[in-house]
Amino acid sequence: SFWADIVRSVEAAGLPSDEKSVLEALWDLVWAGQVTADSFAPLRARVGGIKSRRPSSAAQARSGARSRRTPGANRRVAGLGPPAGAGRWSLVQPLLELKPNPSVAAMTRAMQLLERYGVLTREMALAEGIEGGFAGVYPVLKLLEERGQIRRGYFVEGLGAAQFAQTGAVDLLRVDSPSADSEASVTVLAATDPAQPFGAALSWPESTGSPSRSIGAYAFIADGELCAYLERGGRKLLTFEGAQRHPGWVGALAQLVVSGRARRLQITSIDGETTTGSTWEQAFLEAGFKQGYRGLTFG
């Protein structure tokens, strides 16, 4: 229903039908999850505090002549309602009752996983927590392979025999690795990012702590190796074998603040020990960190 329809229904029910009352009631239903709009415009107007504008007396006088020339114009504009009530509104419940075709849903889910991971394995599907696990998408993957839409093979060593990938992903795997003489760039990913394989497709390398795919944590990866793991809150840091081969991860850590991804870093421990006297202390100082009684800080 549009705004005018809603107002008429409210009036017919004998309830307060002024703009403010109807708008507040409508958004109470939105926040309760019972009503939805057909666009984000009403939400932007509501969040941005946009209110229906009342024209000044001078503006009303100027528009009077236009209104007399086009008597239906004001009625059409009024029917649109305030910005936060514009558009078409619908009840949510009927939309939830529409169940997608199981085959279409399974196909969509499989394609989403392939797009997300490039090479899809059993462990990745399990990490997603999808209904039915890997068995829930395997028949679809097999069908796509038979149609020639995707490929199955042993693309990545150590990821198991059941590996499926789109042709483009396989081609990217064949791209030459960086030269051994050049320093590999460091990629910083949220620990929960689907592109971050450790703790899902790959097990965590040996360390002194217990890294996990936690919200707010970061993984520092270079040339496919996990170098470091920053726990949520930015206080505890774990390093791995790859850290020695790719020391550039220290600078990447500082870039979290420089780029705005983190407001400030205050590292109190590295591999379970205090930062003072750590084998990494000098590298941190060279990267711009400051050593203090609270540990290594940046920002």
pLDDT band at residue 241 under the 50/70/90 scheme: very high
pLDDT in tens, 244-265: 999 999 999 999 999 999 889 9
- Per-residue model confidence (pLDDT) at position 178: 56
pLDDT at 53 over 60: no
Alpha helices in the chain (DSSP H): 3-12, 19-31, 41-47, 57-69, 73-80, 92-96, 102-117, 122-128, 133-146, 167-173, 242-245, 249-258, 281-286
Q: What is the mean pLDDT of residues 187-216?
A: 91
- Per-residue model confidence (pLDDT) at position 288: 94
pLDDT at 54 over 70: no
Burial category of 237 from C-beta neighbours within 10 Å (exposed 0-12, middle 13-18, buried 19 and up) = buried
What is the distance between the alpha carbons of residues 127 and 113, in angstroms, rounded to a whole number?
A: 11
What is the distance between the alpha carbons of residues 285 and 291, in angstroms, rounded to a whole number?
A: 7
Q: How many CB atoms lie within 10 A of CB 297?
A: 18
The whole-chain average pLDDT of the chain stands at 85
Return phi, psi of residue 226, to 5°.
Answer: -80, 120
pLDDT band at residue 299 under the 50/70/90 scheme: confident
pLDDT at 74 over 50: no
pLDDT at 224 over 50: yes
pLDDT in tens, 12-41: 999 998 999 999 999 999 999 999 999 999
pLDDT at 57 over 70: no
pLDDT band at residue 170 under the 50/70/90 scheme: confident
Contact 287/253 with Cβ under 8 angstroms?
A: yes
